Amino acid sequence: MAHRGSPLRVKATVETVVQLGYEVDLLAYPLGEDIDMPEVTLFRAPALLPVRSVKIGASLTKVVLDLLLFLKAFALVVRRRYVAVHGIEEAAFIAAIVARVARVPYFVDMHSSMVEQLRAQPSTNRPWLLNAFGKLFARCVRGASGVLTVCDELTNEIRGSFKTPAFTAMDLPLDACRNVSDAQVQELRKELGLENRRVLLYAGNLASYQGVELLIRAFAHLIKGSAPAAASLSLLVLGGAIEEEKTRREYVALAEELGVTASVVFRRAVPSAETGNYLALADVLVSPRLTGSNTPLKIYSYLVARRPIVATRISSHTQVLTDDCAYLCEPEVAALAQALWRPFENSPEAMQEREAKVSRASRIIDLRQWHLAFHKAIASLYTPVGASVELVEERFSLNASVNS
């Protein structure tokens, strides 16, 4: 399992389905770490390609891997008995086919808008391809017994365009964000050369839509701007899996070109269990995303970390964040540079604003209610095969009584 948003969400979803009383056969690519969960049997597609990782977005490699995944899924439904098939992202197409073979319902699990992803990639932003894919996706969704999404915008789109039952299960904040070691945080600061520095942190993958290039340019604009105190700032870019090494080198070169190499630190992606310490060492957390409707997992983890949040004013963010709890700005260099500096200003008004935003942000997530909503959404999805939303509510109420 890779330590990033979608795989972590898949794990949380599978755990919830098990808690609803089902045994799960989990079919995955022949990549990543194995996981060991009760009532879950892990199957993998044949390892016929010499690849160790798959980059985010559409690619020929992913097409071949999905074909192998389909063959394995077909073999499974022929040999084993299922009550439903759950297809995540493009695997929803596989689910639609093999569910028909098995004569069982299937569910579509949308971590994002796939059409939007294709449109964002120059190599796949072709009218004929988008049109063909859109028609296939529509047929897939209309035949599904239900759709699970990560945000209300996608849920409303599915309900409005396809009339298919759809449910929102917002991502769960990483548990590690609440488990912070002050000693390890100080050790990290020393290791990264960030002692006596004020730190802006971006955590996530390095795909172009995440806006890391925009962030580096805005940071350089700020450092070279009119605020002398900005010279004490450092930018920590935490992310970049094996398949993103080329992109990481490009961002390193950009920082050098802009003359801010000494103030920008790059650290490759770390296991999710270590994320909390990195968020804790930051003074400000940043999400410079350029496009998208699905709210990234990092936003929920940022909220738990109780740090000022700077984010671009796009629907990915504004479904959760407002001007009351975050520093929102347009996805432009000058606007982002100004937003990055605002949390560091020392005027009484700026300090009061910062404290108010952090306080309001920390109240957005009631973790118990967040987990309950996640479980209820998946239970609602699974009602066609006997899941009970009422039972989920009873279990959470019982746990609350025991804990109190």
Does one domain contain both 179 and 285? yes
Mean pLDDT of 112-134: 85
Does one domain contain both 163 and 209? no
- C-alpha 302/C-alpha 373 separation (Å) is 19
- C-alpha 165/C-alpha 177 separation (Å) is 33
Does one domain contain both 188 and 275? yes
Q: Which pTM was predicted?
A: 0.79
175: confidence class by pLDDT, cuts 50, 70, 90: low
Whether the predicted pLDDT of 176 surpasses 90: no
Q: For position 399, what pLDDT does the model report?
A: 64
Q: Residue 143 sits in a domain of what CATH number?
A: 3.40.50.2000
Whether the predicted pLDDT of 400 surpasses 60: no
69: confidence class by pLDDT, cuts 50, 70, 90: very high
List b or e across 98-134, with b for residues whose CB sees 16 or more CB atoms inside 10 angstroms: bbeebebbbbbbbbbbbeebbbbbeeeeeeeeeeebe
Contact present, 396 and 368 (Cβ < 8 Å): yes
Q: For position 165, what pLDDT does the model report?
A: 95
Q: For position 213, what pLDDT does the model report?
A: 97
Mean pLDDT of 45-72: 85
> Could you tell me the residue range of the domain that residue 21 belongs to?
5-173+368-403
Q: For position 314, what pLDDT does the model report?
A: 95
List b or e across 313-340, with b for residues whose CB sees 16 or more CB atoms inside 10 angstroms: bbebbbbbbeeebbbbbebebebbbbbb
Most confidently modeled range among 218-227, 322-331, 385-394: 322-331
Does one domain contain both 210 and 349? yes
What residues contact 5, with CB distance under 8 A and at least 6 apart? 111, 171, 204, 205, 296, 297, 298
Mean pLDDT of 279-305: 91
Residues of the chain above pLDDT 90, percent: 61
1: confidence class by pLDDT, cuts 50, 70, 90: very low
On the 0-12 / 13-18 / 19+ scale of CB atoms within 10 A, 211 is buried
Q: What count of other Cβ atoms lies within 10 Å of the Cβ of residue 60?
A: 8
Residues of the chain above pLDDT 70, percent: 94
Condensed to tens digits (0 to 9), the pLDDT of residues 19-29 reads 999 999 999 99
34: confidence class by pLDDT, cuts 50, 70, 90: confident
403: confidence class by pLDDT, cuts 50, 70, 90: very low
Whether the predicted pLDDT of 60 surpasses 50: yes
Condensed to tens digits (0 to 9), the pLDDT of residues 111-122 reads 888 888 888 788
Q: For position 80, what pLDDT does the model report?
A: 95
Q: For position 230, what pLDDT does the model report?
A: 80
Q: For position 227, what pLDDT does the model report?
A: 65
CA angle in degrees (0–180, nearest 5) for 241-247-248: 65
Does one domain contain both 144 and 47? yes
Q: For position 404, what pLDDT does the model report?
A: 39
395: confidence class by pLDDT, cuts 50, 70, 90: confident
Q: Strand, helix or coil at 14?
A: helix
Average pLDDT along the chain? 89
- C-alpha 111/C-alpha 204 separation (Å) is 15
- Nearest of 258, 256, 215, 263 to residue 239 by alpha carbon: 215
Whether the predicted pLDDT of 226 surpasses 80: no
Q: How many domains does the chain have?
A: 2
Does one domain contain both 193 and 157? no
Q: For position 3, what pLDDT does the model report?
A: 54
- Nearest of 26, 3, 316 to residue 154 by alpha carbon: 316
Does one domain contain both 182 and 160? no
Does one domain contain both 250 and 341? yes
Q: For position 297, what pLDDT does the model report?
A: 84
Mean pLDDT of 106-110: 96
- Sequence-distant contacts of 366-373: CB under 8 A, at least 24 apart: 367/173, 367/304, 368/396, 368/400, 370/170, 370/172, 370/173, 370/300, 371/172, 371/396, 372/396, 373/169, 373/170
Does one domain contain both 331 and 387? no
74: confidence class by pLDDT, cuts 50, 70, 90: very high
Does one domain contain both 169 and 180? no
Condensed to tens digits (0 to 9), the pLDDT of residues 335-376 reads 999 999 999 998 999 999 999 999 999 888 776 788 899 999
Does one domain contain both 184 and 315? yes
Whether the predicted pLDDT of 92 surpasses 50: yes
Q: For position 269, what pLDDT does the model report?
A: 83
Does one domain contain both 188 and 162? no
Mean pLDDT of 82-98: 96
Contact present, 399 and 367 (Cβ < 8 Å): no
